[in-house]
Amino acid sequence: MSVETWRNGNAQDVGSQCSKNKVHDVGITMLSETLYCYYIKVYDVEEVNLLGKPFPSSKDHSKWGVSMNVDKPAVCIGDVNRQVSQFNRGGGAVCIEDKKLWQAFHGSVAKYEKCGKT
């Protein structure tokens, strides 16, 4: 997922994150237990392009994410910055799978930070 959040000020940015090992998450239903394993890859957007105009993340206070996979066209809108100072703050996000919305957000990502930069 590529994410666009506030990355200015004195706060320490989280940076792009790509897990090298699978992360385990246990999903429990009333009748059985399911174990989900997945790799985490979250890329910080550095620049968006809107109507042919580049727009750096340093000038943007929005908080959204878009999947990198066309087969899972998810878009999330949130309310917390990806900075260490935000870890103790409440917040959340709402996500939707919609191909047309995904195309608009995914198509606006002009540049993102690769893993291992920070």
Q: Does residue 61 lie in a domain region?
A: yes
What is the predicted pLDDT for the residue at 29? Answer: 46
Q: Does residue 15 lie in a domain region?
A: yes
What is the predicted pLDDT for the residue at 17? Answer: 80
| Active site annotation includes 24 | no
What is the predicted pLDDT for the residue at 9? Answer: 67
| DSSP state letter for 70 | T
Neighbours of 64 (CB within 10 A): 19
Total number of domains in the chain: 1
DSSP string, 12-27: PB---EE-SSPEEEEE
Q: Does residue 101 lie in a domain region?
A: yes
Q: The whole model's pTM is what?
A: 0.76
Out of 22, 41, 61, 99, the active site residue is: 61
Q: Does residue 36 lie in a domain region?
A: yes
Low-confidence ranges of the chain (pLDDT < 70): 9, 20-39, 117-118
Q: Does residue 118 lie in a domain region?
A: no
| Residues of the domain holding 74 | 2-112
